Structure 1
Amino acid sequence: MLRVAVFLDYANVNSASLSSFCKVNYKALLEYLADYDEGRNLTVAYAYVPIDPRREHAMDDEITMLWDSGYIVRSKVGVIAGNTYKCNFDIEMTLDIVKTSFEIKPDIVVIVSGDSDFIPVVTELREKGIRVEVASFDQSMSQLLSNRCSGRILLDELIEEGNGHYSLADDVQNEIEKECE
């Protein structure tokens, strides 16, 4: 049984799904990435959620949903930057990835993000013999990151259209869903 650790860059994945007018089922995503029937045993899953300082409780429902879906949620209040806010989690994610890799020693680390900022940690883990998979929508997948990882999971390719919403083929129904508005 392969030990799997998952790290979800919520802002990156949520932004890509919203630009497609769709919503990701994060519980089903986690079950797909650590499918026990495929010999993949989930050891830990983290989700990193930025908080808008102008609306600190706007993400409460999403955070609760992520906790209920099996993620350990790390949130951080961003800082105002003009008409928006900035909340960069790359350092915190990288530290947790490295810490988890050395303490828990997973066989596979799955980074759910297409952000090229993760290239150094991907390279380091691969040099240590850890398989690093990157899961992302094609539109937000950095080509450099895609080339550096051990394997990539394009969320777009796992989804097919059917009856007004998107889901996996019938044999793996409910693994990942995204419902279009």
Structure 2
Amino acid sequence: MKTNCRVLIFADADNTFFSAQSFNRKIDWHKIRDYLADPKEGRELIEMVIYIGLPPARERFEEQRKTKEKFVYWARSNGFLVVSKEGKAKGDEYETNVDVVMAMDAVELALEVKPDIVVLVTGDSDFAYLAEKLRKRGMRVEVASVEQSLGSELKNSANSVVDLIEVFDKFNAQNENQSYHRIGNANVFD
């Protein structure tokens, strides 16, 4: 009989989206969640929190913003806890610094609910210090990313790495229109 490990998942949506996109795949957030917190493996999901940066509310970012707002609505409607952060324009681009919010929330929530395992769904080495901090508090830290896009600092600071390529292989291929995620057989925001 397997002992249940309580799992808390923090996902960097944009980082995960770009990793899947590099393999021409649409993200299926349910499959990612179920893979990382599989009850058959003795893993009990406490919560999966998805972090997403929203483009500034400016005309030039209007289409991108609407797409991400639809994703936020979908994710919340499907039981995911979503944290969005308003971006700031920087020339033709924008930045959101979602990493800071995710790191702060991860420390606070992990110390409060005391999971056995914290999974960071990102390949961004900016989260290496977070992984070390959580490990010092007695939590097992797993990083879920595509191995080839995983920063070495983050890889070295986690207890283990979950290569998402196996999950990505189960996702449907993207078509010419970029979708942010997939729901069953329906593409959202094609």
So what's the TM-score if we normalise by structure 1? 0.85
Of residues 92, 109, 122, the one that matches 2:101 is 92
Q: How many residues align?
A: 166
Q: Distance in 1 between matches of 2:140 and 2:110?
A: 11
Which structure shows the bigger proportion of residues in strand conformation? Answer: 1
Identity of aligned residues (%): 34
Letter in 1 for 2:17: N
Q: Which runs of 5+ in 1 are unaligned?
A: 160-165, 168-176
Q: How does 1:33-44 map to 2 (within 5 A)?
A: 33-44=36-47
What does the per-residue CA deviation read over 1:97-135, in whole Å, with 9 as the maximum and x for residues that have no partner?
111111100000000001111111111111221000000
Which residue pairs with 1:130 in the alignment? Answer: 139
Q: Which runs of 4+ in 1 moved over 4 A?
A: none
Letter in 2 for 1:66: A
Q: Residue 44 of structure 1: SS of its match in structure 2?
A: strand
Q: Distance in 2 between matches of 1:8 and 1:147?
A: 19
Of residues 162, 165, 179, the one that matches 2:173 is 179
Letter in 2 for 1:90: D
Q: In 1, are the aligned partners of 2:129 and 2:157 still within 8 Å (CA)?
A: no
Q: Distance in 2 between matches of 1:5 and 1:156?
A: 21
Q: Which runs of 5+ in 2 are unaligned?
A: 176-190
1:158: Cα distance to partner?
4.3
Q: How does 1:133-148 map to 2 (within 5 A)?
A: 133-148=142-157
Letter in 1 for 2:53: P
How much is the aligned-residue C-alpha RMSD, in angstroms?
1.5
